[in-house]
Structure 1
Amino acid sequence: MQHGPAVRRRKLGAELRALRAEARLTSGEAARLVGWHQSKISRIETGTSGVKPADVRLLLDAYGVSDPRLRDLMLVLAGSDENTGRHHWWHAYRGILPPDYSDFISLESQADAMRTLETSVVPGLLQTPEYARAVTRAATRGLDDAGLDALVEVRLARQKVLRADPPLEFSAVLDEAVLRREIGGPEVMARQLERLVEAARLPQVRLQILPFGAGAHVGVTGSFVIFSFSSTPDLDVVVLDHLTSSLHLERKEDLQAYAEAFNSLQIQALSPEDTLDYLAGTVVGG
Structure 2
Amino acid sequence: MPTPTVRRLLVGHLLRHAREQTGLDLDAAGKLIGKTNSTMSRIERGQTALPQHVLKKLANAYEQHAPNAIDLDELLDLARGSQDRGRWSGYRSVYSKYFRMAVDLEADAISIFQYQTEIVPGLLQTEQYIRALFTTAQLQLSDQSTEDAVEARLERQSVLTKPKAPQVSFVLSESSLRRRVGDRELMVTQLHHTAEIARLRNVQIQVLPFAAATAPRATHDFNLFRVPSPGNAGPLEFVYVEDFTDGRYLDGHDDVHAYTLLWQQLVAAALDPVESEKFILRVADEFAR
Query: 45-54 vs 208-217, which deviates more?
Result: 45-54
Whether 1:71 and 2:75 are equivalent positions in the alignment is no
Q: How does 1:108-187 map to 2 (within 5 A)?
A: 108-139=106-137, 141-187=139-185
How big is the alpha-carbon RMSD for the aligned residues of Structure 1 and Structure 2? Answer: 3.7
1:209 and 1:219, CA in 2 relative to 1: closer, same or farther beyond 3 A? Answer: farther
Displacement after TM superposition at 1:18 (Å): 3.5
Letter matched to residue 179 of structure 1 = L
Could you say if the C-alpha distance between residues 21 and 237 of structure 1 is closer, same or farther in structure 2, counting changes exceeding 3 Å?
closer
Provide closer, same or farther for how the CA distance between residues 164 and 241 of structure 1 changes in structure 2, counting only shifts above 3 A.
same
Partner residue of 1:259?
260
Q: Deviations over 1:156-185 (max 9, x none)?
A: 100111112210211000000111111011
1:234-253 CA-to-partner distances (Å, cap 9, x unmatched) read 52111111111001111111
Give the Cα separation in 2 of the matches to 1:225 and 1:155: 16
State the 1:53 CA deviation: 7.3
**Mapping for residues 78-93 of structure 1, pairs under 5 Å:** 80=83, 82-83=84-85, 88=87, 90-93=88-91
TM-score, length-scaled by structure 2: 0.76
Name the amino acid aligned to 2:104.
S
Q: Gaps (5+ residues) in structure 1?
A: 23-29, 32-36
Counterpart secondary structure, 2:94: coil
Letter in 2 for 1:142: Q
Report the CA distance between 1:96 and its aligned residue. Answer: 2.8
Deviation of 1:152 (Å):
1.1
Residues 56 and 173 (structure 1), Cα distance of their counterparts in 2 relative to 1, 3 Å cut: farther
2:24 matched to which residue of 1?
none
- Aligned partner of residue 65 in structure 1, secondary structure: helix
Q: Which of the numbers 30, 47, 51 marks the counterpart of 2:48?
A: 51
Which residue identity is paired with 1:174?
A: L
CA contact (8 A) 1:10 1:46 kept: no
Which residue pairs with 2:276 in the alignment?
275
1:124 CA displacement: 0.6
Normalised by the size of structure 1, how large is the TM-score? Answer: 0.76
Q: Deviations over 1:104-137 (max 9, x none)?
A: 1111111111101100011111100011112233
* 1:16 matched residue in structure 2: 15
Mapped contact 2:117–2:176 kept (Cα < 8 A): yes
In structure 2, C-alpha distance between the alignment counterparts of 1:122 and 1:56, rounded to whole Å: 47
Question: Which residue in the other structure is 2:65 paired with?
Answer: none
The aligned length equals: 261
Evaluate the alpha carbon distance shift between residue 97 and residue 193 of structure 1 in structure 2; reply closer, same or farther with a 3 A threshold.
same
Supply the AA of the counterpart residue of 1:245: D
Of stretches 161-170 and 257-266 in structure 1, the one that deviates more from structure 2 is 161-170
Q: Secondary structure at the match of 2:34?
A: helix
The one of 98, 102, 115 aligned to 1:100 = 98
- Partners in 1 of 2:276 and 2:53 — Cα distance? 45
The answer (yes or no) to whether the contact 2:118–2:176 under 8 Å persists in 1 is yes
Letter in 2 for 1:15: L
Instruction: Determine the structure 1 residue equivalent to 2:219.
Output: 221
Structure 1 residue 193, shift from structure 2 partner:
0.6
Contact 2:113 2:225 in 1 (8 A): yes
Q: What is the percent sequence identity of the aligned residues?
A: 29
Call closer, same or farther: CA 1:48–1:109 in 2, change over 3 Å: closer
